[in-house]
Amino acid sequence: MALLDRLRRGLARTRDGLLGPLEAAVRGKGRLDREALDRLEEILIAADVGPDEAAGIAAAVQTRLGGGMADWAAVQAALEEALVDALSGAERVFALPAARPAVLLFVGVNGSGKTTTVAKVAHLLQEDGARVVLAAADTFRAAAIDQLVHLGEAIGAAVVAHRPGADPGAVVHDALEHGRTRGYDAVLVDTAGRLQTKRPLMEELGKVRRVVEKFLGRPPDERLLVVDATVGQNAISQAQLFHDAVGLTGLVVAKLDGTARGGAVVPIHRALGLPILWVGVGEGMDEIEPFRTKDFVRALVRG
Ligand SMILES: Nc1nc2c(ncn2[C@@H]2O[C@H](COP(=O)(O)OP(=O)(O)OP(=O)(O)O)[C@@H](O)[C@H]2O)c(=O)[nH]1
Ligand SMILES: [Mg+2]
């Protein structure tokens, strides 16, 4: 399936919730009047764009249209431009860093989509010809290790895993050694998401970062926060803790297919000032896309 098709299908719930009612209002009157503009703001808030951003985007749409008669196509075009502006700086094209092995650390709260995303990104890198190792550094539950081992088998990637309860730092050390001695291109590290455990999570993540620094002489090349789009803006408050622990370099927004709150990518990006590297639009291993602002906004606004 073509990239845009997958994105369109994935964003259908957000789009339908966002634009159906507005289209009806604009078509009915032939213009974006005050009432329709208020409607636009409400719709953006309902899509979880956030009140401040929603007001700014609605005002930008009004400015672009100049207050005169507007057909639906003109409203769509103005909304598209305003959303692209609101997401300026959100796009960063990912390329594997030159150093080998490159290390990608994935963090995020319980259930956000980390393990699935690790495997999806590994699969993407493999499709580009890279050889990757997955590190099962969520040692908190046996099921978490099994999940990564199974996904590794499914995509044909090596997995380094220890027993449940083992030290995550030791798993990462092993994976790095494996990666270096066997000439792998990248090590992708899956981590735990539980906030209430005997071992404080943030300390554990900080330690994993230090293990990489000690071994390679540099921190993990990417420290990526996986956020669950269905949680919407609540993801922002969690993000700061992870930022403090590992120094985030980017975001992956998972589960965009399962929500009408896909607009949350706007405030999430803006609050954290971090680029969005990929979006997840399904559970399958190929249901991930690099984040491209224009494609994303077009799929959202036009379908
Ligand atoms: N629909 C949909 N489901 C997803 C996506 N990404 C992950 N999931 C599902 O979300 C659930 C949780 O995903 P995991 O990858 O296990 O999340 P996690 O962050 O590793 O969870 P913990 O290890 O328990 O912290 C699983 O059922 C995944 O299949 C996505 O982009 N779309
Ligand atoms: Mg997991």
Asked whether residue 95 is assigned to any structural domain, the reply reads: no
Test site for ligand 1: of 9, 106, 110, 116, most ligand atoms within 8 A of the Cβ:
116
Same domain, 68 and 37: yes
**93 domain residue, yes or no:** no
Q: What is the CATH number of the domain that holds 18?
A: 1.20.120
**248-254: average pLDDT:** 95
Of 125, 76, 87, the closest CA to residue 296 belongs to 87
At residue 109 the predicted structure's pLDDT band, cuts being 50, 70 and 90, is: very high
Instruction: Report pLDDT for 160.
Output: 98
* Residue finishing a domain among 37, 54, 86: 86
On whether residue 96 sits in a domain, the answer given is no
Q: For ligand 1, say whether the CB of 234 is within 6 Å of any of its atoms.
A: no
Q: Looking at residue 25, what is its pLDDT? A: 78
pLDDT in tens, 199-224: 689 999 999 999 999 999 999 999 99
Tell which phi-psi region holds residue 130, choosing left (phi > 0), alpha (psi between -120 and 50) or beta. Answer: beta
C-alpha neighbours within 13 Å on the C-beta side of residue 246: 29
Cα distance between residue 122 and residue 114, in whole Å: 12
Q: What is the DSSP letter of 273?
A: T
13 Cβ closer than 6 Å to some ligand 1 atom: no
- Of 61, 86, 111, which residue is a domain's last? 86
Among 86, 110, 136, the domain boundary falls at 86
Hey, what are 213's tokens?
């620094």
229 lines ligand 1 (CB under 6 A): no
Ligand 1 atom 10, closest CA:
113
CA distance 101 to 178: 10
Position 28 confidence tier, pLDDT thresholds 50, 70, 90: confident
Q: State whether 79 and 34 are in the same domain.
A: yes
152 lines ligand 1 (CB under 6 A): no
230 inside domain: yes
What is the identity of the amino acid at 23?
E
Same domain, 82 and 106: no
Q: Could you give the number of structural domains in the chain? A: 2
- Coil, strand or helix at 187: strand
Residue, of 134 and 300, whose pLDDT is higher:
134
* Alpha-carbon span 2 to 33, nearest angstrom: 37
Whether 117 and 227 map to the same domain: the answer is yes
> Are 50 and 187 contained in the same domain?
no
Regarding whether 179 and 133 lie in a shared domain, the answer is yes
Could you tell me whether strands 158-160 and 102-107 are parallel, antiparallel, or unpaired per DSSP bridges?
unpaired
- Would you state the structure tokens that stand for residue 286, as one six-digit string? 């190929």
Residues composing the chain: 303
Does any domain span residue 293?
yes
Ligand 1 mean position, distance from CA 114 (Å): 6
Same domain? For 107 and 80 the reply is no
Return the closest-CA partner of residue 87 out of 253, 229, 302, 275: 275
Report the CATH number at residue 279: 3.40.50.300
Task: Provide the domain limits for residue 200.
Answer: 102-301
274 CB under 6 A from ligand 1?
no
How confident is residue 42, by pLDDT bands cut at 50, 70 and 90?
confident
Same domain, 113 and 240: yes
Distance 138 CA to ligand 2 centre (A): 7
Which of 248, 247, 298, 243 is CA-nearest to residue 276? 248
Residue in 230, 283, 286 to alter for ligand 1 test, most ligand atoms within 8 A of Cβ? 283
Confidence check: pLDDT of 2 > 60: no
Give the percent of the chain with pLDDT over 90.
62
List the one residue out of 175, 31, 184 whose CA is nearest residue 102. Answer: 184
Q: Which residue did the predictor score with more confidence, 140 or 4?
A: 140
Are residue 47 and residue 144 in the same domain, yes or no? no
For residue 194, the CA-to-ligand 1 centroid distance in Å is 14
One domain, residues 209 and 275? yes
Q: Please determine, for residue 186, whether its predicted confidence score (pLDDT) is greater than 90.
A: yes
- Written as one letter, the residue type at 243 is H
Mean pLDDT within 113-134: 97
Q: In the Cβ-directed half-sphere of 276, how many Cα atoms lie within 13 Å?
A: 28
**Which ligand 1 atom sits nearest the alpha carbon of residue 279?**
31
Maximum C-alpha span of the chain: 68
Question: In 249-272, which positions are buried (b, 16+ CB within 10 angstroms) versus exposed (e)?
Answer: bbbbbbbbbbbbbbbbbbbbbbbb
